[in-house]
Amino acid sequence: MIPASIMSAQLEGWQAEWRAALTDPAELLEALNLGTLVARVIRPTRDAFPLRVPRPFVARMRRGDPHDPLLRQVLPLDDELMPRPGFVDDAVGDLAARNAPGVIRKYQGRALLIATGTCAVNCRYCFRRHFPYAEETASLGRWRKAVDWIRANPDVSEVILSGGDPLSLVTTRLAELTGELAAVPHVRRLRIHTRLPIVLPSRVDEPLVRWLGGLPWPVVIVLHANHANEFDAAVDTALARLRLAGATLLNQSVLLAGVNDDVDALAALSERMFAAEVLPYYVHVLDPVRGAAHFEVPDDEARRLIDTLRARLPGYLVPRLVREVPGANAKTPL
Ligand SMILES: *Cc1c(COP(=O)(O)O)cnc(C)c1O
Ligand code: SF4
């Protein structure tokens, strides 16, 4: 299903690719030569957070490997049904931190704007998988209230576009939003948290680059990649375009059992990122969200991994290991 917000009479290239995303687990497993895994897939009726994965991301998965690190991030398996105490729906206290429709302010000077609830990919470990987007998104004409709130709070100097994935909005809507923000004098930086340049690199098209290049503030783009295999030539091109538009590129990952919980995988990710001129920013421990307990890496193991990584790589390639603690005034280092 393509959200109305990205619908237009003539689909741009990236929108056609978005629409062609795989949503049927059987089709995905068939394409990967893993038909026997179908028995372990959760039935859609029991899962409000269905499979969704763009084909360019599928193309980077290894055929015939049930443990492929990209596949594991998106395939809804029966592991998710195992209840675990402490793994809850609103794992990071977002509901308590609402300020206006679509605005979450937890930290000094920064306000996070949920520009849309939509993503091109559904990541099984996502801390927002149970978040009531429909009510909270600032999109669809509700931006004015969000912008009003920012205007009324002069300590907010950085606006963070988040979601969902803000780049799932068409560029004209992004331009409307930043046009309104441009009239707020105390906004001095724009940050965009997005996974789209990784999972659907065609999103970084000419209109997007023109929009970025024309913004009146320095722009920081925080990407989200968890494994070196998520990069390929198309991703490199997309990232080069973002840089050419003047954006500073950082990456945050989530430490995920069976995906990147070994030092070789983490080192390869940092090295691959650097080759694409992206610097590591954070590596988050998993938020305790219901359905994701099988991705958990114990704290001691997480610390040991990052210490080992620190001994191996230059400091600027070692991400900060942090946890999201509800009520804390910053991401909390482990
Ligand atoms: C993570 C987050 C930020 C950004 O924190 P930084 O440490 O500046 O990256 C801002 N607002 C909210 C609500 C967040 O969850
Ligand atoms: S792209 Fe980000 S917000 Fe969207 S499902 Fe994945 S982790 Fe969650």
Map tokens 């690190």 to a residue: 69
Ligand number nearest to the C-alpha of 193: 2
> Where do runs of H (alpha helix) occur along the chain?
13-19, 25-31, 55-58, 69-74, 133-136, 143-151, 171-181, 196-199, 206-213, 233-244, 263-275, 299-312
In this prediction, residue 131 carries a pLDDT of 67
Residues with a CB atom less than 6 Å from ligand 2: 119, 121-123, 126, 128, 163-165, 195, 224
| Dist. CA 200–CA 295, nearest whole Å | 24
Give me the domains of the chain, ranges plus CATH numbers.
4-81 (no CATH), 95-329 (3.20.20.70)
Minimum-distance ligand 1 atom for the alpha carbon of 105: 13
In this prediction, residue 117 carries a pLDDT of 86
Q: What is the pLDDT along the chain (334 residues), one digit of tens a residue?
A: 445 544 455 677 899 999 999 999 999 999 999 999 999 998 765 557 899 999 999 999 999 999 999 999 999 999 998 889 999 887 777 767 777 788 999 999 999 999 888 999 999 999 778 765 545 555 556 688 899 999 999 999 999 999 889 999 999 999 999 999 999 999 999 999 999 999 999 999 999 999 999 999 999 999 999 999 999 999 999 999 999 999 999 999 999 999 999 999 999 999 999 999 999 999 999 999 999 999 999 999 999 999 999 999 999 999 999 999 989 999 999 9
Look at ligand 2, atom 3, and give the residue with the nearest C-alpha.
Answer: 164
Supply 10's token pair.
């003539």
Distance 107 CA to ligand 1 centre (A): 7
Give the residue among 145, 72, 81 at the shortest CA–CA distance from 114: 145
Evaluate whether 324 touches 115 at the Cβ level (below 8 Å): no
Q: Which residue type sits at 107?
A: Y
Please compute, for residue 220, the number of CA atoms within 13 A of its CA located in the half-sphere on the CB side. 15
State the Cα torsion 256-258-264-266 to the nearest 10°. Answer: -20
